[in-house]
Structure 1
Amino acid sequence: MKFAYKFQNLLGTVYNQGNILFTPDDNTVLSPVGNRISAFDLKRNKSQTLPVECHKSFTCTALSPNGVILIAVAEDGEALVISLISKTVLHKHRFNRKVYDIQFSPDGSRFAVTFQNDVQLFTAPGQRSVDFNPFHLERVFFGSHDETTCIDWTSDSKCFAVGAKDMNTRVYPVKRCPNLGVYSLGGHSDIVLHCFFAKDSLNLYSLSRSGQLCIWACDTSLADLWVAEENEPEEPEEVPEVDPLSEFPAAKEPRLPVEEKKSNKIAYTKSARHYYRDLTKDHSTLTSACFHKTTKILVAGFSNGSFFLHEMPDFTLIHSLSLGEQSITAAVFNRRGDWLALGTTGLGQLVVWEWQSQCFVLKQQGHYDQLMTLTYSPDGQYLATGGSDGKVKLWNTSSGFCFVTFNEHTASVTALQFTHSGKAVISSSLDGTVRAFDTTRYRNFRTFTSPRPAQFSCLAIDPSGDVVCAGSQDSFELFVWSVQTGRLLEILSGHEAPISGVAFGNAGENQLLVSSSWDQTVRVWDIFKSKSQQESVRVHSEALAVAFRPDGNEIAVCDLNCRIQFFDPVSTQQIGIIEAKADLGRFRREDDLVSGKTASKGRAFTTLCYSADGMAILVGGKSKYICVYHTKEHVLLRRFAVSKNWSFTGMTEFLSKRTNTEMGQRGLMDLDEDDSDRQKLSLPGVRSGDMASRHFKPEVTVYSVQFSPTGQSWAACSTEGLMIYSTHTEDLFDPFDLDPSITPASTRALISGPSRDPGRALIMALRLNENKLVAEVMESIPVHDIALISENLPDKYVTLLLNFSALQLENSRHFEFYLNWIKTTLFAHGQKLKSRSTTIMPVLHSLQKALIRKKEDILRITQRNVSNLEYAQSVFKLTLEAGNSASDGKDSDSVDGEMEEDEED
């Protein structure tokens, strides 16, 4: 197995903080997720996380009008210029201060940034051909007495309005204007959070945090604002006359004072004032707002989870809705104004709502608390996650969307596992129940409980799917149930401490159950022959997790000393050990008084998983690193960094001189003179403090890792969310059994040359293992030759051919052609593949996943075509009936006319 894994997607979290953006085509929603940005394609029903990462979480973003350049600003003022075409970072700029808002002008030539008490105006990237600096500062606008909070541009991009914490709204011209200098508007009793211009007008709407709306009417139109400057004649510069006979020029005569030209200064009047507290009927505050200038619809979101749509300027209520009890922190209209995107930080929810039909276009919500566990379905098509909020969610790995949520658990979910058929997922929880959920009908069809209350910390299902076992962390017992009947079969006792892990495995002809515990033992149970038959293995430290190798010939255990030990399940003899302490990395909080090396003591890997072929093991725990080890060589293959987000604690490893002050490390000492207000520091190694404090940084931790059954990807539950890494085989040159005579040129010569040999050309292409070359060779082979070539294909190339065909099922348009290859290959080599089922299972899972995905796509297209045909048929019938009725009316009129003529005659 190759380990060219790259970050692919981030699930489990759809929105954290900051503003939400629509792309100009209204097909994609851009949502900031921590220090990353996720793009939700509403047309293709797919989500993707951009491969861009910042050192802090993003707080505000801005998109250019052409939808090419995205500027994202983090908490510490670091701004990234991102190209949405190449999905790369083009430039970085540091404001070194918190930025509340950043907005592009409607023409895309400039963008304005709120910077402390000022507003900085920059030239947009790509607008200057003189230099390559994307952040060319044009001008700085002053006037505010406190921090500026919001920006909005006029339709012609010549003026902009700025709201500030000094409760005033100011209007600035981009260039010098005789009618407008700086106009300040008051009238608010709280911080101004949003201000909006009307379309093609200087009329202004300003909203404060207290829910007060002020409507400002301007006596000057936007078109007349610049007339005075355009019509003002330019006075020619007077050149002094020079006397050729004099050494000095003639003195310029003093000019008499001339009356200054009076310019009509603009004036604002407060035309109306409205209060949202009359609608909310509580003390909730305004948290977000957006105004669509074309439809004149204003939306305002509040801290109690409700939002209101009003038609301006009459302030007519159109609709009101509540998304819960958490505050709505982001609201934005699309370009047409028919869709409204809302984001909620507390729930981690993202909603796209069509307000005219009052239906949801997109409604996604992650775990609003920490993710604790995950598991892959047998075909790798779906992912199940469980969180400390008690929810179990099912995710589609191809689209990245959650399609069902189970809320039956009342406490944290500790373990998840799919049955062997994939038709059910079983979860254990600290609420004392083990529940089985049907993935077809989406219901909880079985609940397993213990005779006395117990908190279940781990879970395992036997390969047949008939028996489920869960370990308890308070009664130190193992409970075994029957999935069919729901009856409790056995209670296994013997451990003397909380049980941390349990797993089923086939060791030869015997089916064994292995469990790990904090009592420094690992026990092997043969529950299907005799419940009293068990073997105890001493690991000399607290065992934190256990796993069976897919072939059942090895057990892996990670302990508190950060060691990974390998045992034979039959003889219970230790066959290997990995000292992983050096790979754990150093961990140091911001308030620690010790070094990272000292603070890392007592930390270890707490979760592990074997790869699909059993050649590698994936481990993670209380560290920002995830490590991959070789199971036979016992060496580190690769180490992945979970996050680069410095908004989490535990990212630093060493003391930094940048944070040193006269009182010590910054953040450790409170500079107030009153000792009662000083921050209470915890002792080294002790996790304490007020969890309800206003500023609490989570620690970087990996709670669960899992390899995909296809072997092409793996996922990890961390503080960031559900992170998925996958291989990109098209970018990796990985030849198989290669020699100097095998080249792309010699391979192509066997396809079209005089010595044509497609079978040999296929073998050479598979040995080169280049996807484009293999596709070229396979598609050049006629359909009637597929059966003959498949039968004569050597056994060691069958796996490569099936794996490539599974990849082509997803990407190629020749669907039936590759289905013929798969069918003939499986029929020709089916008996031989059964003998090595453990190595061929990842390939078969890849085939199954590709077929299911293609089936869903074809079914969706078929349903759409059927509905379109039915619609066209109904329209045709209505048109035909209308035509027949019209012709009948004409015929009756002609008959009546003939009868009248006969009467006259």
Structure 2
Amino acid sequence: MKTNFNFSNLLGTVYCQGNLLFNPDGTHLFSPVGNRVTVFNLVDNKSFTFPFAHRKNIARLGLSPQGNLLLSVDEDGYAILTNVPRRIPIYHFSFKSPITALSFSPCGKYFVVGLQRKIEVWHVPSTPDANADGELEFAPFVRHHTHTQHFDEVSSIEWSSDSRFFVSSSKDLTSRIWSVEPEENFTPTVLAGHKQAVVGTWFSEDQETLYTVSKDGALFEWKYVGRPRNDDEMVDDEDEPTDLRWRIVNRHYFMQNNAHVCCVAFHAPSNLLVAGFSNGIFGLYELPEFNMIHTLSISQNNIDFVTINRTGEWLAFGASRLGQLLVWEWQSESYILKQQGHFDSMNALVYSPDGQRVVTAADDGKIKVWDVESGFCVVTFTEHSSGVTACEFTKKGNVLFTASLDGSVRAWDLVRYRNFRTFTAPTRLSFSCMAVDPSGEVVVAGSLDSFDIHIWSVQTGQLLDRLSGHEGPVSALAFAPDGGILASGSWDRTARLWSVFSRTQTSEPLQLQADVLDVAIRPDSQQLAVSTLDGQLTFWSISDAEQVAGLDGRRDVSGGRSVGGRRTAANTASGKSFGSIKYSTDGSCLLAGGNSKYICLYSVNSMVLLKKFTVSVNLSASGTQEFLSSKLLTEAGPAALVDEDALSDAEGRGLDALPGSKRGDPSARKKLPEIRITSVGFSPAGTSFCAASTEGLLIYSLDNKLQFDPFDLNMEITPASTLAVLQGEKDYLKALVMAFRLNEASLIKAVFQAVPHREIELVVQGVPGVYVSRLLRFVAAQTETSPHIEFCLLWIKAIVDKHGAWLSANRARVDVELRVVSRAVGRMKDDVRKLGSENGYMVDYLLGQGQEKSQKKESAGEQKTLEWGDAGEAEESSGDEEWLGLD
């Protein structure tokens, strides 16, 4: 089995903190998810996560106007410059200070960062498409100049449309206008007048007006005008206005009761202003008249960030408290994207039998079904009233079973998305584990309150039996794939093998040295793996009930110390065990994870560690550091747990304030999530596995990287060179790949039709995997339109024969192409059958016409005989009649 799994995608978490960004064409949304960046394709309904990871949570994102460079900065000011099309980091840099604002200029030459109260202007690294001559001059992160006039933290930075000026907003109640280059008759200007911190400032499209919004809901309109004059003041008409400066000409107020403004975005071309409030309501307004277009409640907590795409059609909202991400189209008043992760930690996960979906269950009582290919949540079930602890599919994959602490086991129909059966015990219990018979007829569940195992019938919903034998809470259950044996693990330091369907229902106890955390049965139903609290993995023969192997995983799983811990990761006693174990599809490997930042992959045959996967390097979470550091310790305790400025700033306090308190809850303390793995699972195809962690649902796969084609680097690929390769060198494979690289339909068709039918199999065999789906789609389209039926069928047969394994492994990726091929072949079959039927009818018609013509000739001959001879003679002499007719 291959073990080169790499991080592929992150599901279950859509937004944590920071700002959201649309790409230039407005079809992709960039969202910071912890220390990673996820991109949501709003048109194709897909998402992917960049492979790089920061050492802290991301604070700000910036995207160049061309959409090819992404600058992400974490809480400590460490930045990563990423090539978006290639998804690879280009450069690492440190601003040496926490960043509060980031914005690229519209011209793409500069970007401005707010480093607390300091502002710095930097040059954007040049790219070939940015220079007129096409030369690459890569000089990353060259500082242009610095401004330090603000007295408090800079909250936002916005540019003018001509990239000559930018305006900064700060918590010091002011906004300031700056110029990138020295301008004639221009000095940096201060806009003062707000009573609370300024949230944002924007230029109008003609740059004649400025709009500022403060946290208390005040909107000021500024214009560059002279001082208003009194009525009794005598002024000469010929004199020009004097004392010109930016002045407030209008004041507007949002009036949202006691809610304050959390975030604001302005779209200058359409004069649309969007404001998000602390009560979860957002308002859409038209300026300069300040007409309210729409208000909508989208969350129960603060709306942390809002942005508008370039066309002004879609609004993106992020709420970090509940992990919500919304994209709303305001003209049609409909959601383009509406995603939310689990509010609490995930407890269990399971792959569907076809490998296309992953189901997660969490402490918030919700069950979410995630599409692996798109990365989106398909459906959420909320019927459970307490935390969901286990989930399991039936063999066919159309029914899902879940167990919960509310004392119920529920069966879900994944075709109609409804709960069609609920199983309960005679006494109220909190079920902690569950297993389903492979036939789908029996479901069993164990509890931490009772030492019995409950068995229900899926058809009737009745409790069939209770298995007694354990002397402690039941912690794990698993059915053998052949359905003959049920394995259970308990805190009484035993694992038992039950013959559920036999008359005696005997059980075989297996004695262990510590409490059992999880059990797993190999796919061939011959081996049982047990994980215990002392970090040991023991392997038992199911047929003989004897231990066949064992290994010590304490050293492998240990890693990462908690923030408040007083020992290093190697010496700490907590987290040195595996809470979840799963066999691979072929049974050759065992995947194990626990309260650690590592996932271990073991070989079952040799009992050695094959690979360790690091779940997270995010130092913003507890459990990722390896050693103690005196720099992070203070007199009050670890620096990460000390609230520095929370007493002076109400934003830093807890959101659940005490009654009557205006500065937040004084008892609230800063808490860090602890990195841990609650569940792991292999995909049925064996090409990927997923892990439910504190940061979300992590997916590791074998084919996660973008497939690289050396033709991408060749600037000499042109239609003329492609035809030269096709006609001169007769290198059909190279010509086909060059045509796909140019992506010209006429050229691809010419190369396609020029390939001899004897060379089709060799050409298809050498096609790189990156072009298989495009070739299949093109051949399917040609099959529907081309008259060369057999030629197209030969191509389809060659693709299926030579790349069948790749097509089956990437079924979700090429599902559309396969459906097009199936439709084309079906249509071709119908056309051939129709043509055969028409030809048969035509032959029958022609034969019928010949017989009818001969019959007409015979009847005409008889009529002539009757006219020339006597009727009586004709009746007497039949021989003459026959001779006359033949003549």
Taking structure 1 as the reference length, the TM-score comes to 0.75
Q: What CA distance in whole angstroms lies between the structure 1 residues aligned with 2:518 and 2:694? A: 19
Q: Secondary structure at the match of 1:703?
A: strand
Task: Give the whole-Å Cα distance in 1 for the aligned partners of 2:775 and 2:51.
Answer: 21
CA 1:806–1:425: 2 relative to 1, 3 Å: farther
Kept in 1: contact 2:434–2:443 (CA 8 A):
yes
Structure 2 equivalent of residue 77 of structure 1: 77
Matched residue, 2:859: none
Q: Is the counterpart of residue 439 in structure 1 residue 414 in structure 2? A: yes
5 Å matches for 1:346-745? Answer: 346-506=321-481, 511-530=484-503, 532-601=505-574, 603-659=576-632, 666=639, 693-728=668-703
Pairwise CA distance, 1:333: 0.8
**Hey, what's the Cα distance between the residues in 2 that align with 1:809 and 1:414?**
40
Contact 2:373 2:813 in 1 (8 A): no
Counterparts of 1:783 and 1:419, CA distance in 2: 47
Q: Give the Å deviation of 1:639.
A: 0.5
Deviation at 1:161, TM superposition (A): 0.9
**Contact 1:807 1:850 (C-alpha < 8 Å) held by counterparts:** no
1:570 Cα shift? 2.0
The one-letter code of the counterpart of 2:120 is Q
- The 2-side partners of 1:810 and 1:581 are apart by 48
Corresponding residue of 1:869: none
Whether the aligned pair in 1 keeps the contact of 2:558 and 2:575 (CA below 8 Å) is no
Deviation of residue 112 (structure 1)?
Answer: 0.8
> Could you tell me how far 1:619 is from its partner in structure 2?
0.3
- Structure 2, unaligned runs of 5 or more: 227-239, 648-664, 709-753, 781-792, 826-887
For residues 29 and 641 of structure 2, what CA distance do their matches in structure 1 show? 40
Q: 1:56 to 1:850 in 2, by over 3 A?
A: closer
Per-residue deviation, 1:371:
1.7
Match of 1:155 among 150, 157, 161: 161
Aligned to 1:146: 152
Q: Corresponding residue for 1:125?
A: 125
8 Å contact kept, 1:348–1:365: yes
1:268 aligns with 2:246: yes
Write out per-residue CA displacement over residues 759-803 of structure 1, whole angstroms, 9 at most, x where no aligned residue: xxxxxxxxxxxxxxxxxxxx99979999xx9xxxxxxxxxxx9xx
- 1:66 aligns with 66
Q: Which amino acid aligns with 1:472?
A: S
Distance 1:516 1:336 in 2: 58
Query: How far, CA to CA, are the matches of 2:184 and 2:801 in structure 1?
Result: 82
Aligned to 1:234: none
Paired residue type of 1:272: N
Measured in 2, the distance between the counterparts of 1:35 and 1:353 equals: 26
CA contact (8 A) 1:808 1:818 kept: no
- One-letter amino acid matched to 1:702: I
Give the SS at the match of 1:215. Answer: strand
Cα deviations by residue, 1:372-413 (Å, 9 ceiling, x for unpaired)? 211111110111111111111111111111111111111111
User: Which amino acid in the other structure matches residue 554 of structure 1?
Assistant: Q
The answer as to whether partners of 1:179 and 1:264 remain within 8 angstroms in 2 is: no
CA separation in 2, counterparts of 1:95 and 1:806? 39
* More displaced stretch, 17-26 vs 265-274: 265-274
Displacement of 1:495: 1.5
Secondary structure of 2:555 counterpart: coil
Question: 1:168 maps to what in 2?
Answer: 174
Matching residue's letter, 2:74:
A
Q: Are the structure 2 counterparts of residues 336 and 579 from structure 1 closer, same or farther at C-alpha, using a change threshold of 3 Å?
A: same
CA distance in 2, matches of 1:302, 1:730: 40
Please give the alpha-carbon distance, in whole angstroms, between the structure 1 residues aligned to 2:169 and 2:770.
Answer: 56
| Partners of 2:431 and 2:447 within 8 A in 1 | yes
Q: Are the aligned partners of 1:591 and 1:667 in contact in 2 as well (CA < 8 Å)? A: no
Please tell me whether Structure 1 or Structure 2 has the larger radius of gyration of its CA atoms: 2
- Does residue 1:20 correspond to 2:20, yes or no? yes
- Which of 192, 199, 224 does residue 186 from structure 1 map onto? 192
Partner of 2:303: 328
Aligned partners of 2:558 and 2:576 also within 8 Å: no
Distance 1:691 1:460 in 2: 46
Name the stretch that deviates more: 493-502 or 614-623. Answer: 493-502
- 8 Å CA contact 2:776, 2:817 repeated in 1: no
Kindly state the Cα deviation for residue 812 of structure 1 after the two structures are TM-superposed: 3.9
Residue type of the alignment partner of 2:555: A
1:116, distance to aligned residue in structure 2 (A):
2.4
Task: For 1:175, give the aligned amino acid.
Answer: E
- Cα distance in 2, alignment partners of residues 2 and 541 from structure 1: 32
CA distance in 2, matches of 1:628, 1:49: 23
RMSD (Å) for aligned C-alpha atoms: 3.5
* Residue 319 (structure 1) aligned with residue 284 (structure 2): no
2:29 equivalent in structure 1 = 29
Contact 2:20 2:32 in 1 (8 A): yes
Matched position secondary structure for 2:76 = coil
Q: 2:212 aligns with which of 206, 212, 215?
A: 206
Q: 1:859 to 1:59 in 2, by over 3 A?
A: farther
Structure 2 residue matching 1:393: 3-state secondary structure: strand
CA distance in 1, matches of 2:85, 2:521: 44
Task: Compute the displacement of 1:554 (Å).
Answer: 0.3
Distance in 2 separating the partners of 1:820 and 1:859: 12
**In 1, distance between residues paired with 2:36 and 2:643?**
32
Matches of 1:95 and 1:861, distance apart in 2: 57
- In 1, the alpha carbon distance for the partners of 2:188 and 2:670 equals 37
Identity %: 39
Task: Tell me by how many angstroms 1:180 deviates.
Answer: 2.4
Q: Which amino acid aligns with 1:269?
A: R
Identify unmatched segments of 5+ residues in structure 1. 221-261, 675-689, 734-778, 790-800, 827-839, 863-905
**How far apart, CA to CA, are the structure 1 residues paired with 2:644 and 2:415?**
60
Asked if the contact 1:379–1:849 (Cα under 8 Å) also holds between the matched residues in 2, the reply is: no
- Cα separation, 1, equivalents of 2:416 and 2:374: 20
1:74-118 Cα distance to aligned partner (Å, 9 max, x none): 111111111102211111221222211100111111111112222
Q: Do the aligned residues in 2 keep the contact of 1:414 with 1:427 (CA within 8 Å)?
A: yes
Equivalent residue runs for 1:736-885 within 5 Å: 812-813=776-777, 820=797, 846=809
Other structure's SS at 1:582 match:
helix
CA 525–324 in structure 1, closer or farther in 2 if over 3 Å, else same: same
Contact 1:611 1:711 in 2 (8 A): yes
CA–CA distance in structure 1, aligned partners of residues 194 and 111 of structure 2: 27
Deviation at 1:365, TM superposition (A): 1.5
- Rate the CA distance shift 1:650–1:806 in 2: closer, same or farther, 3 A: same
- CA distance in 2 between counterparts of 1:390 and 1:400 reads 21
Tell me if the contact between 1:477 and 1:495 (Cα under 8 Å) persists in the aligned partners: yes
Distance 1:497 1:452 in 2: 18
Alpha-carbon offset, residue 178 of structure 1: 3.9
Return the offset for 1:169.
0.9
One-letter amino acid of the structure 1 residue matched with residue 580 of structure 2: T
- 1:519-545 CA-to-partner distances (Å, cap 9, x unmatched) read 100011101003541111111101100
Contact 1:179 1:266 in 2 (8 A): no
